[in-house]
């Protein structure tokens, strides 16, 4: 049941003479659960005469503001905007595999792999594995050792897909929490070293110098980070070989999928990142886990372009909250026990705070990124020449919406060369009041009853 306060807010909005305009603003945000409020104006002025051709101000809008979508990629914060981001990511990844959005279709003939780089083990965790459709026992060991904390290192349960113990250590006191958060923190560096090693290996295999390689081949990639249940990231990447001018140019004949797969395998096993010793923490060297998955992407084969694009797009809108942490910053001053955290996530966060306080590890900024369990990299990244950009996809959509506004007479058609456009915007808050949130949900079909997070 909505609170009396929410109902009162709803009634007053419904009785507002500007209700119709408010409702159309809300519909235009596409169900965004935390729209940004902007205050400001747009003026179109004739460059030659100085005449004011058209003027728009938020002064006449409901509450004196324009509501625009928050455009987050995080599904946990705004499902509607994250869905737009997911769809854009899909388009972007797909264009690099099948062509389109300015990428020629000939790109389908370029060698292209779907690669998963994993983290190493930091201790035994509860897992669910299937074989031929049957769920296997988690970690069955007949003569299992007992750990120094008195726990038997065996679990014979066949876990359900949604069991909360999945990803949690058999013994939290044996688990290498430091290793886990350090790996997250250094995984972007590990990835960077991996791409350098990949180039070196490709050049060596073809008998070329690195400069000669660049004159013949461009390695393009798009990758996404995914949190495993144990709270450590791994990467899924599309890696493609193009000619020297990117996707429009064919790679040389020697640059086949086999050569690329060999280079990926070699680079993944060759690279490492050192971590300096700090107080009681020993120095260590971080590497990728032994599990490496390399699969060719083909148009009609086992792993299709649609499947890969869908997979990457899905993970692009997720973050660490799926592991049971929070999707906002936490501070060492917060009482971690009072926050709605899974025990495993709580220990990972506490470990970030502990290591983040050490001078030798200050560069990793573990305290600031504790809520991400140490990972501060970008969730989805791509090389410059992979395909199109988010900017271009958004520009296309904005252009489409502008054309629609012109054709329905809402915006006059001006020649951009002769008209000066002056815009002034300021941030004036975000979100909905409780009553507005109920109405907005009804108007857009979005579900955000837990909202009402108005910030002003
Ligand atoms: Zn939104
Ligand atoms: Zn288990
Ligand atoms: Zn133990």
pLDDT higher at 300 or 197: 197
Q: In which element (H, E) is residue 440 found?
A: helix 434-444
Nearest ligand to the CA atom of 72: 1
Nearest ligand to the CA atom of 154: 2
Q: How far is the CA of 166 from the centre of ligand 2 (A)?
A: 7
Q: Which of 181-185, 226-230, 264-268 has the lowest mean pLDDT?
A: 226-230
Question: What is the model's pLDDT at position 452?
Answer: 45
**From its phi and psi, is residue 99 left (phi > 0), alpha (psi between -120 and 50) or beta?**
left
Alpha helices, DSSP H only, in 68-209? 79-98, 177-206
Say how far residue 277 (Cα) sits from the centre of its chain.
31
Nearest ligand to the CA atom of 164: 2
CA distance 236 to 222: 8
Q: How far is the CA of 232 from the centre of ligand 2 (A)?
A: 18
For the stretch 363-396, what's the b/e string if a residue is b when 16 or more beta carbons lie within 10 angstroms of its beta carbon? ebebbebbbbbbbebebbbbbebbbbeeebbeee
Q: How far is the CA of 121 from the centre of ligand 2 (A)?
A: 16
Question: What is the model's pLDDT at position 300?
Answer: 74
Nearest ligand to the CA atom of 26: 1
pLDDT higher at 54 or 175: 175
Judged by DSSP in three states, 365 sits in coil
Q: In which element (H, E) is residue 404 found?
A: helix 390-407
Which pLDDT band holds residue 390 (cuts at 50, 70, 90)?
Answer: confident
For the stretch 245-266, what's the b/e string if a residue is b when 16 or more beta carbons lie within 10 angstroms of its beta carbon? ebbebbbbeebebebbbebbeb
- Mean pLDDT (the chain) is 89
Sequence-separated (6 or more) residues with CB below 8 Å from residue 54: 43, 44, 411, 412, 414
Q: How far is the CA of 153 from the centre of ligand 2 (A)?
A: 10
Kindly report, residue by residue over 11-52, the tens digit of the pLDDT: 999 999 999 999 988 988 888 999 999 998 888 888 889 888
Residue 453 pLDDT greater than 60, yes or no: no
Nearest ligand to the CA atom of 140: 2
CA distance 76 to 261: 36
For the stretch 127-143, what's the b/e string if a residue is b when 16 or more beta carbons lie within 10 angstroms of its beta carbon? bbeeeeeeeeebbeeee
User: Most confidently modeled of 18-27, 301-310, 311-320, 408-417?
Assistant: 18-27
What the block records as the tokens of 455 is 């910030």
CA distance 364 to 247: 35
Residue 264 phi, psi (nearest 5):
-65, -45
Nearest ligand to the CA atom of 160: 2
Residue 24 phi, psi (nearest 5):
-75, -35
pTM metric for this prediction? 0.84
CA distance 315 to 86: 9
DSSP 73: S
Residue 456 pLDDT greater than 50, yes or no: no
Q: How far is the CA of 173 from the centre of ligand 3 (A)?
A: 5
Which pLDDT band holds residue 118 (cuts at 50, 70, 90)?
Answer: very high
Question: What is the model's pLDDT at position 379?
Answer: 78
């Amino acid at each position: 049941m909505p609170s009396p306060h929410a109902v009162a807010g709803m009634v007053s909005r419904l009785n507002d003479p500007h209700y119709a305009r408010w409702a159309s603003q809300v519909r235009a945000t596409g169900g965004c659960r935390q729209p940004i409020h902007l205050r400001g104006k747009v003026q179109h002025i004739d460059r030659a005469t100085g005449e004011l051709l058209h003027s728009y101000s938020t002064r006449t809008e409901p509450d004196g503001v324009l509501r625009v979508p928050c455009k987050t990629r995080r599904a946990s914060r705004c499902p509607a905007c994250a869905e737009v981001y997911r769809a854009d990511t899909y388009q972007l990844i797909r264009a690099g595999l099948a062509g389109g959005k300015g990428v020629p279709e000939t790109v389908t003939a370029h060698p292209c792999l779907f690669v998963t780089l994993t983290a190493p083990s930091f201790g035994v965790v509860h897992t669910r594995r299937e074989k031929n459709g049957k769920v296997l026992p988690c970690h069955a060991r007949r003569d299992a050792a007992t750990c120094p904390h008195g726990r038997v290192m065996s679990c014979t349960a066949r876990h359900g897909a949604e069991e909360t113990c999945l990803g949690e250590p058999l013994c939290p006191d044996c688990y290498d929490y430091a290793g886990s958060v350090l790996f997250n923190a250094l995984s972007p560096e590990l990835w960077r070293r991996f791409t350098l090693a990949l180039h070196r290996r490709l050049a060596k295999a073809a008998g070329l110098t690195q400069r000669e390689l660049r004159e013949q081949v461009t390695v393009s990639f798009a990758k996404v980070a995914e949190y495993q249940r144990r709270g450590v990231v791994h990467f899924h990447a599309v890696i493609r070989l193009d000619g020297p001018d990117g996707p429009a140019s064919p790679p040389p004949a020697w640059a086949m999928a086999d050569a690329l797969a060999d280079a990926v395998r070699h680079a993944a096993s060759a690279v490492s990142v050192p971590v300096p010793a700090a107080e009681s923490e020993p120095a260590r060297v971080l590497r990728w886990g032994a599990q490496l998955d390399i699969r060719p992407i083909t148009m009609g084969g086992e792993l299709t372009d649609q499947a890969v694009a869908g997979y990457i797009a899905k993970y692009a809108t997720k973050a660490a909250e799926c592991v049971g942490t929070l999707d906002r910053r936490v501070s060492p001053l917060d009482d971690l026990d009072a926050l709605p955290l899974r025990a495993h996530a709580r220990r990972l966060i506490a470990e970030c705070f502990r290591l983040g306080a050490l001078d030798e590890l200050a560069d990793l900024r573990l305290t600031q990124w504790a809520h991400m369990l140490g990972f501060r990299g970008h969730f989805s990244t791509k090389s410059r020449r992979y395909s199109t950009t988010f900017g271009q996809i958004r520009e296309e959509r904005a252009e489409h919406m502008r054309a629609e506004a012109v054709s329905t007479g809402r915006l006059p058609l001006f020649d951009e060369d002769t008209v000066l456009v002056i815009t002034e915007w300021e941030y004036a808050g975000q979100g909905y009041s409780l009553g507005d949130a109920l109405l907005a949900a009804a108007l857009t079909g979005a579900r955000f009853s837990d909202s009402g997070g108005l910030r002003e």
